[in-house]
């Protein structure tokens, strides 16, 4: 066991048990999920952040690669009340600093009360409070990463074949693999493109639907993806999840803003404005749509009223701020993928509805 210290932006220095040595820094965020730690740690939306688990025991059902949402761990560090040895071994293999024996309830409460904050972390036999403060100091004055998409996108186009007639161009701004899997399970063929794909790249595929994925960072920095939305709006049906909703709204006359501490975890209630139905959703984002522009707000967060769903009948657009693929989380919203594929031009009869196989 080695020593560990966390220097928080609110001035506190917290001592912890070191599980994986290293030094790092980043935005301190949390998840309330009590399962799905493999999916959370491999979610590209956590790139460059420090992920705190509010559930007290992380690792109680092992580590299995088939549950991963990408090919690596994305947070810069992991924090928990207690990590099992198997999770620690996985984090160590990927060189991700980790600490436990810490009051994570206190950490989460601080973030919720004071807003998102930076943290400096040092783990190792030579760890000191001063060293943690030095890491924290490196955060101050730094602007939001402007090209974070390059760190999480596919390096080249990839195709996943479905057995239907619908084709989807999925722009990978940090996509979870379960998004493509949910579409393929419904018969769609999914062409995954880099986040900086051009209009020509998309046109060459003649897709039935253009889909903008989730991902990390400020949506305003994804300029190439904004250009795609502007180019194809009204010409090709548009869909988006999380960051994808923010990019689509911004490109179509709306605005986005950074939230105090974001929406995190698997228990966010969302109300559909048409039906009045409330569903529980999985969320992980620090930005939100402030003004929807030419789009209509169709769903809202029950807790704070922020936009959770947008749509436009004229432009054939449908988006969600939460993660309908629900890895981890409740399956209340899987029907979103059926709604997306229903936007495809007539004649794609082989694309089918999936209810229970996701």
For residue 328, whether the previous peptide bond is cis, meaning omega lies within 30 degrees of 0, is yes
Dig out the tokens for 351 from the structure: 């694309």
Residue 215 annotated as part of some ligand binding site? yes
* DSSP three-state, residue 210: strand
Q: Catalytic pick from 242, 263, 285, 308?
A: 242
26: left (phi over 0), alpha (psi -120 to 50) or beta: left
Residue 214 annotated as part of some ligand binding site? no
The yes-or-no answer on residue 139 being catalytic is: no
Burial of 35 (0-12, 13-18, 19+ CB in 10 A): middle
Residue 187 annotated as part of some ligand binding site? no
The yes-or-no answer on residue 323 being catalytic is: yes
Residue 284 annotated as part of some ligand binding site? yes
Q: Catalytic pick from 135, 226, 325, 327?
A: 325
Residue 286 annotated as part of some ligand binding site? yes
Strand 296-301 versus strand 307-312 pairing type = antiparallel
List the one residue out of 235, 239, 236 whose CA is nearest residue 249: 239
Q: Catalytic pick from 191, 285, 323, 327?
A: 323
Q: How far is CA 36 from CA 31, 69, 117, 153, 285, in A?
A: 10, 10, 24, 22, 17
The yes-or-no answer on residue 325 being catalytic is: yes
Residue 287 annotated as part of some ligand binding site? yes
Q: List, as residue ranges, the binding site for L-glutamine.
A: 45, 215, 217, 243, 246, 284, 286-287
Q: List, as residue ranges, the binding site.
A: 45, 215, 217, 243, 246, 284, 286-287
Catalytic residue numbers? Answer: 242, 323, 325
């Amino acid at each position: 066991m080695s020593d560990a210290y966390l220097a928080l932006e609110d001035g506190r220095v917290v001592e912890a048990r070191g599980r994986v040595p290293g030094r790092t820094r980043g935005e301190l965020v949390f998840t309330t999920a009590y399962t799905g730690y493999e999916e959370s740690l491999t979610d590209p939306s956590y790139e460059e952040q420090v992920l705190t688990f509010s559930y007290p025991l992380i690792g109680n059902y092992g580590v299995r690669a088939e549950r991963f949402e990408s090919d690596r761990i994305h947070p810069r560090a992991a924090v928990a009340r207690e990590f099992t040895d198997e999770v620690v071994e996985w984090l160590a293999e990927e060189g991700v600093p980790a600490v436990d024996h810490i009051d994570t309830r206190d950490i989460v409460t601080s973030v919720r009360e004071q807003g998102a904050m930076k943290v400096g972390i040092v783990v190792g036999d030579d760890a000191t409070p001063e060293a943690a403060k030095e890491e924290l100091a490196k955060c101050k004055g730094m602007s939001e990463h402007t090209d974070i998409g390059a760190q999480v996108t596919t390096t080249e186009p990839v195709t996943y074949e479905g057995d239907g007639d619908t084709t989807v161009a999925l722009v990978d701004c940090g996509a979870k693999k379960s998004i493509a899997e949910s579409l393929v399970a419904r018969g769609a063929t999914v062409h995954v493109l880099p986040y900086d794909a051009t209009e020509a790249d998309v046109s060459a595929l003649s897709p039935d639907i253009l889909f903008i994925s989730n991902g990390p960072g400020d949506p305003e920095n994804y300029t190439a993806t904004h250009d795609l939305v502007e180019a194809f709006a009204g010409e090709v049906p548009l869909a988006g999840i999380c960051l994808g909703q923010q990019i689509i709204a911004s490109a179509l006359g709306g605005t986005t803003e950074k939230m105090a501490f974001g929406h995190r975890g698997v228990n966010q209630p969302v109300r559909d404005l048409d039906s009045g139905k409330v569903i529980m959703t999985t969320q992980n984002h620090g930005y939100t749509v402030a003004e929807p522009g030419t789009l209509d707000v169709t769903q809202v967060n029950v807790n704070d009223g922020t936009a959770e769903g947008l749509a436009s009948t004229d432009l054939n657009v449908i988006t969600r701020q939460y993660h309908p693929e629900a890895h981890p989380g409740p399956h209340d919203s899987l029907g979103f993928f059926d709604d997306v594929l229903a936007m495809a031009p007539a004649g794609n009869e082989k694309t089918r509805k999936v209810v229970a196989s996701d």
